[in-house]
Structure 1
Amino acid sequence: LGAGYITPVSTIIKWFPDKRGLATGLAIMGFGFASLLTSPIAQHLIAGVGIVETFYILGASYFIIMLLASQFIKRPNEQELAILSSSGKEKTASLTQGMAANQALKSNRYYMLWIIFFINIACGLGLISAASPMAQEMAGLSTSHAAVMVGVLGIFNGFGRLLWASLSDYIGRPLTFSILLLVNLFFSLSLWLFTDSVLFVVAMSILMTCYGAGFSLIPAYLSDIFGTKELAALHGYILTAWAMAGLAGPILLAETYKMAHSYTQTLFVFLILYSIALALSYYLGRSIKKESQKPLT
């Protein structure tokens, strides 16, 4: 899963240097929507042929589809790089060079970006894990309506990956991430203050676009700061934040709910975390803006 996730994303950025956000957004949106497509197919197969046979069928299907699709994945050659360079703002050097991964790991910017990504994903996963019970307890939704809402959230999660990443091509990754975190703060606060069911669903839907956006913004942001020389390795390293957030987010939500017997306290904790991420995002954006423009070496 990790290799299949990172390889296409790090490659596609090299082909669309002026539209890195759009390119990664489209690729990673597919990752988000895949579960919506596969889930009903898997359920139908399980009901028809059983669990073990379903794994055989899906595994064989994935193998064939991915093997065929992988034939189209390749890095641009020197001639293609020259065309990309002449047709856009990027120079050929910036499409092939950059900081080595071991050098980037010594940079404060990498760790700020790691923390920002971790917080956005941890809070998002926490909300996803409790979306249905939160909707029932805080907004009075029925079990069936809450289940429908969870399905809708998956759609917003997918589209958020494309929407925010595309926006970043026009206003820049630092500003996009800061706006995204401000939106997280505002709508988390609205969940905390208001109990109207419609407002709850709207707020959760927008929060899910922000959650999904983190995945598509990160590879483009990494390439902006460190170049594309070892982008695949850097992307892999920073996805450790996703792995840790997968544990931290749901556990944090469950433990705070256990102590307070209310999701409002959990939202208060998330507000604090989003504020920390926003401060780091603002500082990172300022440092990038102040730095004199230097060619990547």
Structure 2
Amino acid sequence: MNTTKNRWLIALSAIAIHLSIGGAYAYSVYTTPVSEQMGWTPTQVTIAFTIMMALAGSSAALFGKFVEKSGPRKSAMVSAVLFGVGQAGAGVAIAVDSLILFLLTYGLASGLGLGIGYISPVSTLVKWFPDRRGLATGLAVLGFGTGALITAPLAASLMSAVGIANTFYILGLTYFVFITLGASYIAPPPEGWMPAGMKKDMASGKKVFKKDLQQLTSKEAVKTRRFWLLWIMMLINTTAGIMMISVASPMAQEVVGLSAAAAATMVGIMGIFNGGGRIGWAAASDYIGRPNVFLIFFIIQTVAFFTLPITTNAIIFQILILLVVSCYGGGFSNLPAFIGDLFGTKQLGSIHGYLLTTWSLGGVFGPMLVSQIRERTDGYTAVFYVFLGLITLSLIVSILMKLDIKRIEKAYERKEETDAVNY
């Protein structure tokens, strides 16, 4: 039955799921209205978002094996229920004036649904697009980044028209419907399936497609050196990106004297580079390889963090920030395809979940580091140098990753030569 499915509709289904859960990033539009209407402090209101973000990465790791065992359809449906109920439940919390219920619904339930929904379609996409892994996963993750751009103005309009509680009811139901629609079509391809064009290219010798380095379970993957090299690379890349996103506006105003309006414009453009980086870097990785893309990420950011503290030119400063943000988005979109390259597709969802713990940790470390350093040094210069050190470490790690991959490939080549001689 799966052979009748269109792989581009599979990709569209994944985008529908990611667009829905990506609405979580529009949370800032709720903070002030909820605080003013309910009398809760902004800090209390923000705790719900903190819980959700912390759970997003950790639940992806916790339920990765469940996603692999249950398949993309069932796990996406679980996400639809948790995320939809979490959002609509926030409306109930507003209606009954319960901060605890708000934290349990928007924070806990939505966070669990977000993590499960994020990884549900990814391993399936990788299997449907063995020839364009980067592009396929980039499209889905772009959907996640775009979700906030759609939800933010929509939620603001709805709150003005029908009130906060009703806004949560409407959006919760909408998210549930869209995730359910995506889940209803998504399914893995038959074992060993390949697109016709890929088969033709392989048969004619027109293109050579690299095989996955190994086919490993999640338990086997976490015991390898390259898993932890990739984990370190993702943690630092994520921490740097979230740090930049969290303080971009005040940083630009203080360091190079941007006006508040100009800084706000820059923040809007950052969203474009975050999304564009997700699809652009992912598509590029299909041609130059995932190890090379991550190497480029850290070269760009090394130059950026070296230059930021010494530049006084506002345009150069903003360009460097935008490049860092594009690398942040590109890291997330390249990760699933890179996992497939390194560990195969046997338990890609579970391995992806483990690596997404860097998402939760980066979300804590990035803002915490910048705020602590800024407070103690009364400036951002030290921040740039600390992150220059971290990015330099990642650059070294990315080189070690390339060497580790080459070592394994050579070992396989020697084994194949030995087997051929013995045969």
- Compared CA separation, residues 33 and 193, structure 1 to 2 (3 A): same
- Equivalent position SS for 2:215: coil
- Equivalent position SS for 1:10: helix
Q: Which residue among 140, 146, 168 is the counterpart of 2:257? A: 140
Per-residue CA distance 1:110-145 (angstroms, 9 max, x = gap): 011001100000011011100000010011111111
- In the alignment, what sits opposite 1:177? 294
8 Å contact from structure 1 (residues 24, 219) kept in 2: yes
Q: CA deviation at 1:86?
A: 2.4
Indicate whether 1:11 and 2:133 are aligned. Answer: no
- In the alignment, what sits opposite 2:219? 102
Indicate whether 1:251 and 2:371 are aligned. Answer: no
Q: Which ranges of structure 2 fall in alignment gaps of 5 or more residues?
A: 1-113, 414-423
Q: How many residues align?
A: 293
**2:115, 2:198 → 1: CA distance?**
30
Indicate whether 1:150 and 2:263 are aligned. Answer: no
**1:41, 1:144 → 2: CA distance?**
22
- Equivalent position SS for 1:76: coil
Q: TM-score, normalised by structure 2?
A: 0.66
**1:268, 1:225 → 2: CA distance?**
32
Deviates more, 1:254-263 or 1:69-78: 69-78
**2:369, 2:274 → 1: CA distance?**
21
- In the alignment, what sits opposite 1:189? 306
- In the alignment, what sits opposite 1:42? 155
Indicate whether 1:290 and 2:407 are aligned. Answer: yes
Q: Which residue among 168, 178, 181 is the counterpart of 1:55? A: 168
Q: CA deviation at 1:68?
A: 1.1
8 Å contact from structure 2 (residues 239, 366) kept in 1: yes
8 Å contact from structure 1 (residues 222, 234) kept in 2: yes
- In the alignment, what sits opposite 1:168? 285
- In the alignment, what sits opposite 1:66? 179
| Higher RCO (C-alpha under 8 Å, 6+ residues apart) | 1
Q: CA deviation at 1:88?
A: 5.6
**1:287, 1:271 → 2: CA distance?**
24
Q: TM-score, normalised by structure 1?
A: 0.93
Per-residue CA distance 1:191-221 (angstroms, 9 max, x = gap): 2110211111111111111110110111111
Q: Which ranges of structure 1 fall in alignment gaps of 5 or more residues?
A: none
Q: CA deviation at 1:291?
A: 2.0
- Compared CA separation, residues 79 and 181, structure 1 to 2 (3 A): closer
- In the alignment, what sits opposite 1:225? 342
Q: CA deviation at 1:166?
A: 1.2
What letter is aligned with 2:325?
Answer: M
What letter is aligned with 2:140?
Answer: A
Task: Give the number of the structure whose alpha-carbon radius of gyration is greater.
Answer: 2
